[in-house]
């Protein structure tokens, strides 16, 4: 008996092909892995060694001082003040959490800070910037520095460090112009204007500091340090010194600015002024009252102090009335009404109109100030004595046919931003039928009535819903004075290096143009000249004896339930003005009583006129 051997299956061609494919794939994969390892270890080994070394290097930012700001004569307006701050060096703090807490406790007791709050703030900053030195307190006195330096064993990791803080040597003078700086926030980091800025950097937050931040902001330096695997600092490799920002020269004249703010501060406490070159738009002074000391923003400010700066009871000192205020302008608006009436062909400079003292339209009677009747007048004497009835008739007759009063007011800059190189400017409000009717037709209604002819009558003398500011009025007056160029006011003159050498001129954009004939311009200026010098002129007593011939217009804007607002706008010297000065006091009463004397003081500083004693107001009401 025997057993047949079990026959093994033979390797078929199909199976052999599959084995060959699997083997080939496996060989290919092993080949890829082999060559990749050979590439990483042999060919690229040196580069990975360098990368590993670089991974141990950290860069610590060194803040750059900002560029200084000077006036047109080179007088410093904003400087950098050297100071000391208390910072923590993370690599030198005790490793033990208990020991670190003891350091925070001793430091908090010394500086008057709560230890737990101090520790949380430091740790939060370190999470954001792991290799930075968190600031514990800025601008500390020498006694604190000496105490810490003498007791380094009690304050390991606590290091005084020099830094630059913004300083405003003239206090409240020009505060609204300069603005302030602060640390950049996450939203601002997304703005293309702040390319190259990182967390912890200080940027301009308001005013000139914000408008010209790209020039004033310097280039940060850096300290490259080496750390171990735990992130502890082992040595400093290299330091790059920071580069200070560029110097900014403004068109501002510090002396004129100071005198203007002193004059305004002598009023009722709230108001604004603008002083501008009528030929090129350079702003020599621009200010608001009440003001504030911008030095309080050089260091972190408490919420209590910030609330005081925005308190309406205290006059909202942060509010810049010169470019953000919205006021009726009273009779200073009559220059605009005269321009519109002349340009629309409603009148000529010699057209006579009767002023019996009042005008009744639609059952409403509009009267002159003091109910004075001026008789028959043409444009020049109407401006000289500030006849309301004369201009009421112009406002009534321009209520239709394309609304020329609004058209020319807008062309002269009312109801629109002037374009000055400051952020946060307000356009104000130029009332129109479309605006009021829109409010009336809104659901729910936002006004009690639609547009009426009385609205245009009120607008003709700067009353009603008009909202304008001193800078807008200065631009409008300058356009008449220079023959029709509506300027864009400018504060920035040029960018300079630290020695004052010009690097870049900051030229204003081309001005818009409006066509004003020489005859019309002459008639308007002659009327304003009479208002400041002729018998019966509304401000003649104020400028009596002033050596510089001026043309000017008073304004008294009425408010329901509030004192009248005082205005004055002057052009000087007459008949070819170089400067315009616009002043308003929110509760100053007649323009000749408050704003006009303020304007005289400003003009005296502008033209270096030496005067003695106080200038008294007085003149005919407008």
Give me the pLDDT at residue 43, please. 54
Can you list the positions of beta strands (E) in 449-577? 485-486, 492-496, 502-505, 512-513, 551-559, 562-572
Q: What are the pLDDT digits (tens) for 467-505?
A: 999 999 999 999 999 999 999 999 999 999 988 999 999
Among the residue ranges 18-22, 256-260, 289-293, 331-335, the one predicted with the least confidence is: 18-22
pLDDT higher than 70, residue 233 = no
The pLDDT of residue 231: 47
Instruction: Identify the CATH assignment for 254-606 out of 2.40.50.140, 2.30.110.10, 3.40.710.10, 3.40.640.10.
Output: 3.40.710.10
Written as six digits, the tokens of 436 are 């009021």
What average pLDDT does range 529-544 have in this prediction? Answer: 97
Give the pLDDT confidence score for residue 237 in this predicted structure.
62
Q: Which fold has domain 59-250?
A: Penicillin-binding protein 2a (Domain 2) (3.90.1310)
- Report whether 90 contacts 100 (CB < 8 A): no
pLDDT of residue 271: 97
Q: Which of 215-219, 550-554, 613-617 has the lowest mean pLDDT?
A: 613-617
Average pLDDT value for the chain: 88
Decide: helix, strand or coil at residue 548.
coil
Looking at residue 157, its pLDDT comes to 84
Cβ-contact 77, 178 below 8 angstroms: yes
Element (H, E) at 602: helix 595-606
What does the pLDDT look like over 503-517, one tens digit per residue? 999 988 888 999 999
Helix, strand or coil for residue 279? coil
CA 286 vs CA 58, 364, 472, 572, 610: distances in Å:
47, 39, 12, 17, 22
Q: How confident is the model at residue 6 (pLDDT cuts 50, 70, 90)?
A: low
Q: How far apart are CA 605 and CA 275, in angstroms?
A: 11
- Closest C-alpha among 436, 466, 467 to residue 452: 436
What tokens appear for 105 in the block? 């406790």
What value does the mean pLDDT take over residues 243-262?
96
Residues 432-470 have pLDDT tens digits of: 999 999 999 999 999 999 999 999 999 999 999 999 999
pLDDT exceeds cutoff 80 at 9: no
pLDDT 10s digits, 370-401: 899 999 999 999 999 999 999 999 999 999 87
Report the relative pairing of strands 247-250 and 69-70 from DSSP bridges: parallel
Model confidence band, residue 1 (pLDDT cutoffs 50, 70, 90): very low
Instruction: Tell me if residue 480 falls in helix, strand or coil.
Output: helix
Q: Residue holding tokens 């004192």?
A: 563
Dig out the tokens for 466 from the structure: 């008009």
**Residue 339: closest CA among 479, 233, 155, 138:** 479
What is the sign of the dihedral through the CA atoms of 508, 510, 514 and 516?
positive
Q: Please, which pLDDT band fits residue 11 given cuts at 50, 70 and 90?
A: low
Q: Name the residue ranges covered by the structural domains of the chain.
A: 59-250, 254-606
Q: 622 with 555: CB under 8 angstroms?
A: yes
- pLDDT digits over 50-93, tens only? 544 545 565 556 778 899 999 999 999 999 987 888 888 777 88
Task: Answer for the pair 246, 217: CB distance below 8 angstroms, yes or no.
Answer: no
| pLDDT of amino acid 41 | 63
Q: What is the pLDDT of residues 274-292, one digit of tens each?
A: 999 999 999 999 999 999 9
Q: What is the DSSP string of 104-160?
A: HHHHHHHHT--HHHHHHHHHHHHHHSTTS--EEESS--HHHHHHHHHTTTTSTTEEE
Report the alpha-carbon distance of residue 496 to residue 591 in Å, rounded: 41
């Amino acid at each position: 008996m025997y057993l047949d051997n079990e026959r093994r299956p033979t390797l078929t061609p199909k199976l052999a092909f599959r084995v060959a494919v699997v083997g080939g794939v496996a060989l290919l994969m092993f080949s890829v892995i082999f060559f990749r390892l050979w590439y990483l270890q042999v060919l690229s080994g040196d580069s990975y060694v360098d990368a590993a070394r670089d991974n141990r290097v950290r860069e610590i930012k060194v803040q750059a001082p900002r560029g200084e700001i000077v006036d047109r004569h080179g007088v410093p307006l904003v400087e950098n003040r050297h100071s000391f701050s208390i910072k923590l060096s993370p690599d030198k703090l005790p490793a033990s959490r208990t020991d670190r807490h003891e350091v925070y406790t001793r430091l908090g007791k010394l500086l008057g800070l709560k230890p737990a709050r101090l520790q949380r703030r430091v740790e939060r900053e370190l999470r954001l910037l792991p290799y930075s030195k968190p600031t514990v307190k800025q601008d500390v006195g020498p006694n604190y520095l000496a105490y810490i330096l003498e007791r380094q064993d009690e304050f390991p990791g606590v290091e005084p460090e020099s830094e630059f803080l913004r300083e405003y040597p003239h206090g409240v003078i020009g505060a609204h112009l300069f603005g302030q700086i602060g640390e950049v926030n996450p939203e601002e980091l997304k703005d293309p204007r702040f390319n190259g800025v990182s967390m912890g950097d200080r940027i301009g937050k308001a005013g000139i500091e914000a408008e010209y931040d790209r020039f004033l902001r310097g280039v940060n330096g850096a300290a490259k340090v080496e750390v171990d695997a735990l992130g502890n600092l082992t040595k400093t490799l290299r330091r790059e010194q920071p580069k200070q920002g560029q110097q900014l020269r403004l068109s501002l004249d510090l002396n004129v600015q100071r005198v203007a703010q002193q004059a305004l501060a002598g009023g009722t406490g709230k108001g604004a002024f603008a002083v501008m070159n009528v030929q090129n738009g350079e702003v020599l002074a621009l200010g608001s009252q009440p003001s504030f000391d911008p030095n309080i923003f050089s260091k972190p400010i408490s919420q209590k102090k910030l609330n005081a700066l925005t308190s309406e009871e205290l006059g909202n000192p942060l509010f810049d009335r010169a470019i953000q205020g919205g006021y009726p302008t009273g009779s200073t608006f009559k220059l605009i009404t005269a321009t519109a009436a002349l340009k629309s062909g409603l009148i000529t400079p010699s057209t006579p109109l009767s002023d019996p003292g009042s005008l009744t339209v639609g059952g409403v009677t509009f009267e002159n100030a003091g109910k004075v009747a001026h008789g028959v007048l043409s444009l020049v004497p109407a401006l000289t004595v500030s006849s309301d009835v004369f201009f009421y008739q112009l406002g009534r007759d321009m209520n239709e046919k394309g609304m020329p009063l609004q058209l020319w007011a807008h062309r002269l800059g009312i109801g629109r931003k002037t374009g000055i190189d400051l952020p946060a400017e307000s356009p104000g409000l130029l009332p129109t039928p479309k605006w009021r009717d829109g409010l009336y037709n809104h659901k729910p209604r936002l006004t009690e009535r639609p547009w009426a002819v009385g609205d245009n009558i009120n607008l003709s003398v700067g009353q009603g819903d008009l909202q304008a500011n001193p800078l807008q009025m200065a631009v409008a007056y300058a356009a008449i004075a220079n023959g029709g160029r509506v300027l864009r006011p400018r504060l920035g003159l040029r960018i300079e290096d630290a020695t004052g050498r010009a690097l870049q001129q900051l030229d204003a954009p081309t001005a818009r143009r409006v066509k004003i004939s020489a005859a019309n311009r002459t008639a308007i200026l002659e009327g304003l000249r009479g208002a400041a010098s002729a018998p019966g002129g509304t401000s003649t007593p104020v400028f009596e004896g002033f050596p510089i011939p001026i043309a000017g217009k008073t304004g008294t804007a009425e408010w329901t339930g509030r004192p009248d607002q005082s205005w004055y706008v002057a052009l000087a010297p007459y008949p070819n003005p170089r400067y315009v000065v616009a002043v308003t006091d929110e509760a100053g009463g007649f323009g000749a009583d408050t704003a006009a004397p303020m304007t005289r003081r400003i003009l005296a500083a502008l033209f270096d006129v030496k005067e003695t004693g106080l200038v008294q107001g007085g003149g005919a009401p407008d």
